Amino acid sequence: MRYDPNFKNYKRYYIYGIIFYAITLTINVFVIFLLFYLLITITIHGLPVLSVDFFLNPPSRFAARSGIFPAIMGTFWLMILTALFSIPMGVMAAIYLEEYSSKSSKFIELVKLNIQNLAGIPSIIYGILGLSLFVRGIELGRSLIAGALTMSLLILPTITIATQEALRAIPDSFRFAGYGVGMTRWQVIRHQVLPVAMPGILTGIILGLSRAIGETAPLIMIGALTFVAIAPTSIMDSFTVIPIQIFNWTTLPQMEFHKLAAGAILVLIVMLLIMNSFAIYLRIVFQRKLSL
Amino acid sequence: METLQQEQKRILTRAITESRENVFSRYGKTPSFSLTERLLKYTLTFFGWLTVVITLLIAYILIQDGVLFFSKVSPVDYFFGREWAPFGQPKKFGVLPLVNGTLMIAIGSIVIAAPLGLLTAVFLTQYATRQVREVTIPLIEILGGIPTVVYGYFALDVITPLLKKVFPEIEIFNALSATIVVGISLIPLVASLSADSIRAVPKSIQMGGYALGLTKFHVVTRIIVPAAFSGIVASVILAFARAIGETMAVTLAAGASPKLTLNYLESIQTMTAFIVQISLGDTPYGSIEYYTIYAVGLHLFLITLAFNWLALQLVRKYREVYR
């Protein structure tokens, strides 16, 4: 903008401003519209297939008899196992990096940078890692546990970074208060820092798990895309999950199977919305706790 | 029920009259050098180091099996070959068509996601009221949390039929609909990271603009956006790296025909889609086609690593400037 001694053109700038505001507003509305368009289309496509049979039947060659029972059970078991592996590892790594490691060490700087980079590696690379390491390397086969270990490695950086951020948000005065009454370092972490950081950590965990619930590529890599008609009963069983079932049905040429895919997407999205709303609720709790 | 004041008073009186261990019994008795403390420290250290081990494992596996591939196929043929036909007779391993397909999707989706994401961020941080923000941000986060396989379905069953009305000659599997859905899925990433860097611009600089008599339009476009520029660029680069690694949407929607083309209406194949194709088929373990996934995987790993690293450097830079 050029300096204008007579203020001849000032009105122009207000008009530009209004146009710019209108553009940003339109784009914002457009983005929200995209979300609703996506959700509504999938609801219209998928709602007719939802029935009790759809939830309780195994997949079949005949679209009318197909269901997602094994996929739901597979998703359930995979989530439990992934949570068991990834939450302790991710949270403990974050506690070490934020509370124990020396802040000035070049090596620790490098480790932190490395975790940021790990979070950006495509999920399919983790699939290759899982295939070579778990399926062939330690010969777990195409089992539930190989899938869960692969998923854990995939969401480990997400959980670690979120936990680190939650711990970093706790003011040092909380820690000094603990040391002041003679607590040891672990006691300070356990009784002073973790209770306040907990909602923030839980938010990170939910975000990580909701990423794992929708990931398809790594599981396809480790070979979960075989025809599975029964729900897994042990951790060495082969398995299928909802996203893989969606992928499977979408690749088939018949349109009836695409309808089934939309139904499965609906189930998946409802699960994700529940997890997301829980994460949003916890984030509000965390912010309130910190502002106390 | 005693009130907080009563409780504090009780604890304080006890603290004066009794020894510290009695009052703070859960804290006072274990010194820092006790066995439990040391064990805990070692356990935590172990998990902290685990992330380094994972990175080294990824690199080791990719490099080890990638080297096996390159001992049979010359790197010159791989990097400069213009034909990709690993199942053909004769086999051809020129990666350029896959790189071309990947870049088409990545560049196209950034062209969609960058302006939409940035202007959303500007609106949410500069113009929206608190209530609008509190409703809009979770909605946009939902858009980013939708699994990519869902975007693949969306591209195939919703976007492609729509595009068919505009371009009747479009193929069922085409680069354009994959590009559009990948672009949509990247909007939240660009928006949230740009919003962070916009928020990091100090209030004093903005107020300086108003003090000089600038309108809001000029404060936003000439002060805030330029000041947050390195962060905005970083968010776009991160989104670009994400688009390169994006798998399910492109596998479902873009097809499986590696071609050196720039026509978005045709079917193409990306590097990630090729890796999926190999693992879906019945390629025998140990054959040269099988080892291509490690070569392509290593290639992909290095590309995304480079972009991530670049973006992180930029983020660090702008964080240091306004501290």
Using a CB–CB cutoff of 8 Å, tell me whether B67 touches chain A. Answer: no
Please identify which residue in the block is written with the tokens 């999205």: A269
3-class state of residue B87 by DSSP: coil
Instruction: Give the span between the Cα atoms of A203 and A280, in whole angstroms.
Output: 8
ipTM: 0.88
- What integer pLDDT is reported at residue A4 of this predicted model? 57
Please identify which residue in the block is written with the tokens 């180091």: B49
Closest Cα of chain A to B41: distance in Å?
Answer: 7
Considering only the C-alpha atoms of chain A, give the largest distance between any 2 of them, rounded to a whole number of Å. 82
Cα of B48 vs its chain's centroid, Å: 22
Percent of chain B with pLDDT over 70: 90
Q: How many CA atoms lie within 13 A of A180 on its CB side?
A: 7
**Residue burial B73-91, b: 16+ Cβ < 10 Å; e: rest:** beeeebeebebbebeeeee
pLDDT tens digits, residue range A252-278?
Answer: 888 888 888 899 999 999 988 898 888
Instruction: Give the span between the Cα atoms of B98 and B270, in whole angstroms.
Output: 5
The rounded mean pLDDT for chain A is 85
- Set of chain B residues whose Cβ sits within 8 Å of the Cβ of A280: 138
Measure the CA angle with vertex B4, ends B3 and B10; round to 5°: 90
Measured in residues, chain A has a length of 292
Start-to-end Cα distance in chain B: 46
Mutation target to probe the B interface, by most B beta carbons within 10 A, among A92, A125, A134 is: A125
Of the candidates B55, B221, B222, the beta carbon closest to that of A118 is on: B55
User: 216-245 in A: which are within 8 Å (CB) of B?
Assistant: 216-217, 220-221, 223, 225, 243
Using a CB–CB cutoff of 8 Å, tell me whether B59 touches chain A. Answer: no
Closest Cα of chain A to B120: distance in Å?
Answer: 5
Residue B95 has a CB neighbour count (10 Å cut-off) of: 23
Which segments within chain B are labelled E, that is strand?
A: 84-85, 92-93
CB-neighbour burial class of residue A165 (10 A; exposed 0-12, middle 13-18, buried 19+): middle
Instruction: Give the span between the Cα atoms of B269 and B99, in whole angstroms.
Output: 9
Closest Cα of chain A to B100: distance in Å?
Answer: 18
pLDDT tens digits, residue range B248-307?
Answer: 888 888 888 888 888 888 888 889 998 888 888 777 777 888 888 888 999 999 999 999
3-class state of residue B263 by DSSP: coil
Instruction: Give the span between the Cα atoms of B146 and A155, in whole angstroms.
Output: 16
| pLDDT surpasses 90 at B49 | no
- What integer pLDDT is reported at residue A174 of this predicted model? 84
Question: Pairing relation of β-strands B92-93 and B84-85?
Answer: antiparallel
- What integer pLDDT is reported at residue B18 of this predicted model? 56
Of the candidates A289, A274, A288, A270, the one whose C-alpha atom is nearest the C-alpha of residue A39 is A270
- What integer pLDDT is reported at residue B24 of this predicted model? 46
Q: What is the mean pLDDT of residues B215-233?
A: 87
Using a CB–CB cutoff of 8 Å, tell me whether B280 touches chain A. Answer: yes
CB within 8 Å of B153: residues ≥ 6 apart: A42, A246, A250, A258, A261, A262, A265, B252
In degrees and rounded to multiples of 5, residue B93 shows phi and psi of -120, 55
Of the candidates A2, A68, A35, the one whose C-alpha atom is nearest the C-alpha of residue A267 is A68
Measured in residues, chain B has a length of 323
Of the candidates B238, B241, B297, the beta carbon closest to that of A128 is on: B297
Task: Please judge whether A182 and B28 are an interchain contact, meaning their C-beta atoms are less than 8 angstroms apart.
Answer: yes
- Set of chain B residues whose Cβ sits within 8 Å of the Cβ of A92: 43-44, 47-48
CB within 8 Å of B315: residues ≥ 6 apart: B197, B230, B231, B234
At residue B23 the predicted structure's pLDDT band, cuts being 50, 70 and 90, is very low
Of the candidates B127, B153, B247, the beta carbon closest to that of A217 is on: B247
Instruction: Find the closest chain B residue to A149 by CA distance.
Output: B54
CA distances in angstroms from B156 to A264, B40, B141, B168, B279, listed in the order given: 16, 51, 23, 15, 22
Higher pLDDT, B13 or B87: B87
Task: Please judge whether B218 and A186 are an interchain contact, meaning their C-beta atoms are less than 8 angstroms apart.
Answer: no
User: 85-144 in A: which are within 8 Å (CB) of B?
Assistant: 88-89, 92-93, 95-97, 100-101, 111, 113-118, 120-129, 131-133, 136
CB within 8 Å of B302: residues ≥ 6 apart: none
pLDDT tens digits, residue range A37-91?
Answer: 999 999 998 888 888 888 887 777 777 778 888 888 888 899 999 999 999 999 9
CA dihedral B24, B29, B33, B36 (to 10 degrees): -100
Number of A/B CB contacts below 8 angstroms equals 270
Of the candidates B156, B274, B149, the one whose C-alpha atom is nearest the C-alpha of residue A213 is B149
pLDDT tens digits, residue range A171-204?
Answer: 888 888 888 887 888 888 888 888 888 888 888 8
Lowest mean pLDDT among A126-140, B31-45, B105-119: B31-45
CB-neighbour burial class of residue B203 (10 A; exposed 0-12, middle 13-18, buried 19+): exposed
Percent of chain A with pLDDT over 90: 21
